Every structure is written in structure tokens, then in C-alpha cells.
Amino acid sequence: MMPGIDLDTYEQGDRNALADAMDVMVRAFDPAFGEAWTLPQLSGVMLMPGTWLTVARLDAMPLGFALVRSVLDECELLLLAVAPLWRGRGVGEALLRDSLRTARRKGITSMNLEVRSTNNAIKLYEKTGFEFVHRRPGYYRGNDGQLYDALSFRLDMLA
């Protein structure tokens, strides 16, 4: 992780945090896949109990974010995004590891996630210890109508 990068976690819909996440969202998600969320979607999820948003910033500039929702002792990484110019510099890994630390502090014992089968982030998830669970053929539909498989991963944190 680069020096000077701050990770801030929010459990409420902080206006600045949501704006920073949306700033990254529009830069990070390729419109071809239609995966970016809208501000109302993001705000709505932040109202749910057990949800937290972590934003990575350098000198107040948003670089990436992670959105996690928990129920009882399980959680799901809903979104992880890093601005294109900051990919490959450890920002995504720092966000993921921080999300796992937060989950452990909350007594959560496993994290799940689902990802498009062609997403480069799969390497990060596997490196962090996530294990492949299931493939859903043709689950995602890109804006061009092309279908993509969804891959489910899980990390058990009891160890």
C-alpha cells in the first residue's frame, strides 16, 4: 500500500463518502458491462443494517471503495472498485483486507462475493484466499446483450 493513502469506513450514508464512491464508480466500471450502481442504489443499500462503505483516498482524492453488507455472521462484498489510474498499486488489496478486518471485528466468520467471470479482480480474490464456490452460466448481461458467467467465491475467516 502506498504511503499517504487513507482508508475511511462509514456505516451511515455520509454524503461525502457516497459522492466519493460515485466518483470512483463512474470511472471504474466499464459501461459495456452495465455493472455500475446509481447513487439511489448505493444510498439505499447504505440504509440497511450491517452495511459499511470503505473509501480509499490520497490527499482527499477518492481512489477506490469497498461496499460490504452483513447478516448475522456472514457478509458479502457487494462492490469493490478502484479508479483505473490507481489499479495495480495495492489500493484494491488494501480495501479488501480492511473489509476483512472490519468483518472479523464484527464477529463475522465468512465473506462471500460474486464476480463476472472475465473480471481481472478474480486474481486479487484468489490471492487473498477466496475459494471458488459456484458458476452461474450467462448470469450477467452486458449492455451489448452479451452474456457473462458469474463466479461465486467464499472466504472462511475462522482460521
**Would you name the residues annotated as active-site residues?**
114, 125
**Rg (alpha carbons) of the chain, rounded to whole number:** 15
Q: Is 6 exposed, middle or buried (0-12, 13-18, 19+ CB in 10 A)?
A: exposed
Please name the residue that has the C-alpha cell 459495456: 32
Rounding to the nearest 10 degrees, give the CA dihedral for residues 114, 118, 121, 123: 110
Alpha-carbon distance of 103 to 99, in angstroms, equals: 6
Query: CA neighbours within 13 Å on the CB side: how many for 44?
Result: 5
3-state secondary structure at position 6: strand
